[in-house]
A and B are shown apart, each in its own frame.
Chain A
Amino acid sequence: MKAVKKLVSATAISLVLVGTGAQAHPMWMLPSEFNLSTDEGHWITVDATASHGVFSFDKPISLANVTIYRPAGERQRMGSYFKGERRSVFDLQLNDQGTYKVELKTPERYMTRFVVGGRDTQRRIMANKLEAASQLPDEAREVVTMAMQNISVFYVSQKAPTRTVLEVTGEGFEMDAITHPSDIVVGEPASFRFTYNGEPLVDTAIEVVPHGTAYRSSRQQVDLQTDSDGRVSFVPEMAGPHLLSANARFMGDGVLADEVGVNFLFSFEAIPQ
């Protein structure tokens, strides 16, 4: 299997992104429970915010891009929701046994950047490669189109965990949960595999941070890098919620975008032994 091509100069791309202001904040979701033993339809509540902190509130977000998948894979509507000044909140009722997937996925946004004039003035337009072709000035140089997407996900299991919602489709950026999210245990290795259009994302930086950074000196961040198969493996040391994040930058298909940037966040709980 051929690996997804990594950008030669990731730093250059990041620098460009900082200036865009487009979806600069990672968006995380944190449910009230990740595992339940209830018999009947039980409600859980979820915090959602755009923030650079680990489970700290900063800005509310639109919940329009949140999709709830029931254990058999059908979609479900959310219950009550609220958008405050610092966070958004929504409730969801779990009527089925098994594992639910809750995903916040923004549509891919395209940005084409270029330089013009004798002073290399930087410009950008929100357009994919095809749209940009007719919009670019004739003298545009160093034209690069980037596709950007935010994905945030968590899983919640009622009684025995199931795997239907974990199945990968081979489309876009995906996390293949080799370890079921309800089986992440302190002191035991957990493994995840990352792909783009089904092909492994190689040498992608992944970080994992346990909750509560505000109340300890060390961030206790674990830095990982995907192997040639797109995998990472780690052993949680602390029980409780964790945030796994990937800021993946790689080559696009060359038709709509030259580069792809995905900001991925996965909230999970490490269960005590």
Chain B
Amino acid sequence: MNKGWVLGIGLVMGLHHSAWAQEAVTIEVTLPAIEGPMYYRPYVAVWVENDQGEVVKNIALWSKEPDWLKDMRRWWRKTGRYGGADIDAVSGATRRPGSYSLSWDGMDAQGQPLSPGRYSVHVEAAREHGSRSWVQADIELGSGPKKYTIEPSEELGEIHIMTGVTP
């Protein structure tokens, strides 16, 4: 394929979306401190789905061994098992209890800006000798700054999502 042609398309799309593509999203995830002798850090995945339930972007994956990735049941079924390149790009070690701020530039897994509209942010955590928690929040992209809060669950503390963040 002609490289110039591909670049041209990219530029056109970039220009077309420039009005809102700069709106980033911040996701603040808290892993609660859980007491007990058998505490191992949870496996955590953060991703974004479109209004059809299709994964458009992986934002974070904190894990250790591949064997237990399947325990994040929804993440594994929706995206993990397909092993996309965007997963490698956001993979890291498991984290100790605490608050972590993730920022997402609003681009999809292919690096293209997403159209404005309704999406959902998903956070799933699974812990050995612990539980599995999966939480989500619908968000609007391209309609300016908005704040969303997800209530705490067994394995996850309160989650704060902020759209329309100027990078």
Using CB atoms and an 8 Å cutoff, list the residues of chain A in contact with chain B: 35-39, 42, 157, 159-161, 182-183, 185, 271-273
Chain B contact residue count (CB 8 A cutoff): 15
User: Which B21-79 residues have a C-beta within 8 angstroms of A?
Assistant: 66-70, 73-74, 76-77
The yes or no answer to B157 lying at the interface (CB within 8 A) is no
Given A159-B83, A160-B81, A161-B81, does the pair A37, B67 have CB atoms closer than 8 Å? yes
- Inter-chain CA distance A182–B69, complex, in Å, is 15
Inter-chain contact A160/B77, CB cutoff 8 Å: no
Out of B67, B77, B80, B132, name the residue touching A38 (CB < 8 Å): B67
Out of B70, B74, B82, B83, name the residue touching A36 (CB < 8 Å): B70
Out of B67, B73, B82, B132, name the residue touching A160 (CB < 8 Å): B82
Inter-chain contact A35/B70, CB cutoff 8 Å: yes
- Inter-chain CA distance A94–B70, complex, in Å, is 16
Jot down 20 A-B pairs with beta carbons below 8 A, ordered by A. Answer: A35-B76, A35-B77, A37-B68, A37-B76, A38-B66, A38-B67, A39-B66, A39-B67, A42-B67, A159-B83, A160-B81, A161-B81, A183-B77, A185-B77, A271-B73, A271-B77, A272-B73, A272-B132, A272-B134, A273-B134
Measured CB to CB, the closest approach of chain B to A269, in angstroms, equals: 10
Interface residue SS majority, chain B: helix
A37 contact set on B, CB distance < 8 A:
66-70, 76, 80-81
Measured CB to CB, the closest approach of chain A to B109, in angstroms, equals: 15
- Inter-chain CA distance A36–B83, complex, in Å, is 13
B68 contact set on A, CB distance < 8 A:
37
B132 contact set on A, CB distance < 8 A:
272
Residue of B nearest to A161 (CB): B81
- Inter-chain CA distance A161–B70, complex, in Å, is 13
- Inter-chain CA distance A36–B69, complex, in Å, is 8
CB < 8 Å A-B pair total: 37
Measured CB to CB, the closest approach of chain B to A120, in angstroms, equals: 58
Contacts A37-B68, A160-B82 aside, 7 further interface pairs with beta carbons under 8 A come to A159-B81, A160-B83, A182-B77, A183-B77, A271-B77, A273-B74, A273-B134
- Inter-chain CA distance A239–B154, complex, in Å, is 19
Measured CB to CB, the closest approach of chain B to A14, in angstroms, equals: 39
Residue of A nearest to B136 (CB): A273
A271 contact set on B, CB distance < 8 A:
73, 77
- Inter-chain CA distance A272–B69, complex, in Å, is 15
B82 contact set on A, CB distance < 8 A:
160
- Inter-chain CA distance A228–B85, complex, in Å, is 44
Residue of B nearest to A185 (CB): B77
Residue of B nearest to A38 (CB): B67
B69 contact set on A, CB distance < 8 A:
37
- Inter-chain CA distance A271–B67, complex, in Å, is 17
The 6 closest A-B pairs by CB, nearest first: A37-B70, A37-B69, A39-B66, A160-B81, A38-B67, A160-B82
- Inter-chain CA distance A35–B69, complex, in Å, is 11
**Considering residues B68, B76, B134, which has the most beta carbons from chain A within 10 angstroms of its beta carbon?**
B76
Residue of B nearest to A183 (CB): B77
- Inter-chain CA distance A147–B128, complex, in Å, is 50
A183 contact set on B, CB distance < 8 A:
77
- Inter-chain CA distance A23–B125, complex, in Å, is 46
A159 contact set on B, CB distance < 8 A:
81, 83
- Inter-chain CA distance A182–B77, complex, in Å, is 8
- Inter-chain CA distance A214–B67, complex, in Å, is 31
Measured CB to CB, the closest approach of chain A to B66, in angstroms, equals: 5
Residue of A nearest to B68 (CB): A37
B67 contact set on A, CB distance < 8 A:
36-39, 42
